[in-house]
Amino acid sequence: MRIKTYEVRSMPEALARIKQDLGPDAVILNIRRIKRRRLFGLLGDKLIEVIAGVRDRERTSKTKQPQAPGSPKIVRVSETEHVMESSEATSTDTGMRRLLDDLHDHLNKLGIHRELAQRIVFMLDDIASTQMTQGIELNTQEIRSTFIQRLEQIIPIAGEISLTNGERQVIALVGPTGVGKTTTTAKLAALYSILKRRSVGLISIDAYRIAAYEQLKTYAEIINLPVQLALSPRGAREAVENQTNCELVFIDTVGRSPSHEMHMAELQSYITAMQPDQVYLTLDATTKYMDLLEVYDKYRQTGVSRLLFTKLDETLSLDSLINMAYRTKQPLSYFTTGQSVPDDIEVASHTRLFDFMIHEKHLQAILDQMKE
């Protein structure tokens, strides 16, 4: 076996060098943090020592050798490609490993998807060790803000509706009954017409329950906006065409159980007729993750392009919401936090997601460990 030792600043750097020297079949035998003393023993650089090896015959063979039961976990360099791409590193310092394992357990207990929990732990480890190896004075705020920025790579957030001058945006809210589509439509309409002074149009689609139209109309009268009621896909298309002077048009659709096949087909025909620029799948944050996945599967045919979560005020758990954004890769748009129109709405942010998943005490414990 050929064995080489590398002293590097990050795991991606180690993996690139090992792959180049020893090939994709090389295995990582050990990783530990080390301090390299500079001249006069001052200001030690914090580095990672990685020992890697390759069996002589493996330098040419592509077949994997089965691992003996009970032997330590050996990671092939070729299997760590995803780690390199996302520049996430691993740490095997015992103390640090234990802390990161605890954090992983904590995320699992919160209900965070296993794979996502793993990525979060890798990312946190990488951020902390990169800051340390670059000699940046460590504090929890720095780590927190860097992490929040990097969270974008794994949980997409669309942010607020962006309006380009002269271009009209048509946004449809779809989703199961009672999630808060009409209330949220009213909140968004008020926000954009009153606070942002944009010209807003409203369309209600409800062939069955005239009450839903009345509900939106009541809000619209307070905000001082007209609402058009569409009772057929054709009528809905005409309603959209009529709103040419508006910069923003919101379409409130009526909810039904997603298992109601006829409703889904009908909703689909309305959406096809109206061709909205964005379809916001509106979901209740208190719903279980598995049920949300089911709802998503039914509604995705309507061309869902954003997720909007309501009723965050009714739950302390954001796991379903986070898992949905991670799993579906659909960007999060807004969160609603109560029944008050228009106050109880906020633009989705990574900060809220971070604060749910990772607490100050986790960051402090990691920093204390790294400073040892």
- Give the residues lining the site for ligand GTP (CB under 6 A): 177-183, 212, 254-255, 310-311, 313-314, 336-339, 344
Task: Pick the closer one to ligand GTP by CB: 341 or 353.
Answer: 341
Name the one residue in this structure whose structure tokens are 């009528």: 235
| Residue 289, CA distances (Å) to 112, 173, 318 in order | 10, 20, 10
Shortest approach of Mg ion to residue 252 CB, angstroms? Answer: 6
Q: Measured at CB, which residue is nearest to Mg ion? A: 182
| Residue 313, CA distances (Å) to 163, 176, 285, 346 in order | 28, 19, 9, 12
Task: Pick the closer one to Mg ion by CB: 3 or 211.
Answer: 211
Task: Pick the closer one to ligand GTP by CB: 92 or 356.
Answer: 356
Nearest-angstrom CA–CA distance, 124 and 121: 5
Is 212 a binding residue for Mg ion by CB under 5 A? The answer is yes
Residue 338 binding result from Mg ion, ligand GTP, none, given CB thresholds of 5 to 8 Å by partner type: ligand GTP
Shortest approach of ligand GTP to residue 299 CB, angstroms? Answer: 13
Of 243, 244, 275, give the one whose Cα is nearest residue 171.
275
CB 320 within 8 A of CB 292: yes
Residue 303 binding result from Mg ion, ligand GTP, none, given CB thresholds of 5 to 8 Å by partner type: none
- In the region spanning residues 169 to 188, those forming contacts with Mg ion, defined by CB under 5 A, are 181-182
Q: Measured at CB, which residue is nearest to ligand GTP? A: 255
Is 308 a binding residue for Mg ion by CB under 5 A? The answer is no
| DSSP 8-state secondary structure symbol assigned to residue 195 | I
Task: Pick the closer one to ligand GTP by CB: 302 or 336.
Answer: 336
Size of the site for Mg ion (CB under 5 A): 3
> Percent helix, strand, coil in the chain (nearest 5)?
50, 20, 35
Ramachandran angles phi, psi of 199, nearest 5°: -85, 120
